[in-house]
Amino acid sequence: MPFLTHAGVSLRYDRVGAGPAVLLIHGWTFNRTVWERQVLALRDRHTVITVDLRGHGESSHPRTGYTISAMATDLEHLVRALNVPQVVLVGWSMGGIVALDLARRLGERVRGLALVCTTAGGLMAADNDLAVPEKEVEEMKAAMAADFRGFARQFATRLFKRGPESPFHAWAVDQTQKTPPQVALACMDAVFAIDFRPALKTLDVPTAVIHGRHDAVFPPAHGEALKKGIKGATLTILEDSGHTPFLEEPEAFNAALGSLLGGDDAGRERAAAPSKRAGRSAPSAPSGRGRPRTSR
């Protein structure tokens, strides 16, 4: 079980396969196991690195340090410590925000960027049409503080197009509830505090924005804003997905990711293989066959 310790924080990570490197960054209150279908699909042609962000999964849970900057710094150290010369960053939800910061830090080491159901931030900014009303944010934080387990159950229903009927729903509730409430709240604060909108125009890296049509966490308008803000970015909308297209439509998602990785179909025939990792397995589900729509 590999760990990397940096600034007093131990990060749990996995590194499998061989070839060009891909770093997969999970979202809020989840862990590296969300990417198992992508690991299976990519490992024959790529070095695939997955990691639990600080406070999540099997990484250590420090009392402080849950800013986007701190999490990106952790991953910068990981990439450099593993001596990865070039890497494609794939970030989902909060992980996509971390990936935006990490891409700026790593500079020319980054050969591609995939932003999955995420946002450029500015969610509290008065000049942002996609901002969340302050009252709604405060109500969300209050609900988390009062009953985090109950909040996790409600949050999980928003992750999937099929809501609580999704075969992944119970697993998602379990994963979210494992995250310490104080970590979840601190990371939520970090997401609402960050604003990378002005920095988008400085990114000079092939970028694929992948979004679920039915995303109720960050609606597709966030993906459209990312595409507009990053020069040359493409936007792929997966029609049968919510906030988790890599689970809901793994074949279509892996095909979109494969285009960024160099035309590789990303092993779509293996995309829907169920996890076998003890104690953390996601339930098996039909592979996604929705047709993606890509715009440039």
Range of the domain at 48: 3-295
What the block records as the tokens of 176 is 């979210």
C-beta separation of 221 from 130 below 8 A: yes
The domain that holds 98 is classified in CATH as 3.40.50.1820
For residue 7, what pLDDT is reported? 86
Q: How many structural domains are present in the chain?
A: 1
For residue 289, what pLDDT is reported? 38
CB atoms within 10 A of CB 136: 9
For residue 282, what pLDDT is reported? 55
Q: What is the pLDDT of residues 167-200, one digit of tens each?
A: 999 999 999 999 999 999 999 999 999 999 999 9
Which residues sit opposite 48 in a β-bridge?
16, 22
Mean pLDDT of the chain: 91
Q: Say which range, 111-115, 226-230, 257-261, 292-296, has the weakest mean pLDDT.
A: 292-296
**H or E stretch covering 48:** strand 47-51
Q: What is the pLDDT of residues 234-274, one digit of tens each?
A: 999 999 999 999 999 999 999 999 999 985 444 343 344 44
Distance of CA 170 to the CA centre of its chain: 19
For residue 272, what pLDDT is reported? 40
- Bridge pairing between strands 87-92 and 9-17: unpaired
Rounded-to-integer distance, Cα 197 and Cα 201, Å: 8
| Helices marked H in the chain | 36-42, 68-81, 94-106, 134-146, 148-157, 169-177, 181-193, 220-229, 245-248, 250-261
- The per-residue DSSP string of 238-276 comes to ETT-SS-HHHHSHHHHHHHHHHHHTS----GGGTTPPP-
Percent of the chain with pLDDT over 90: 87
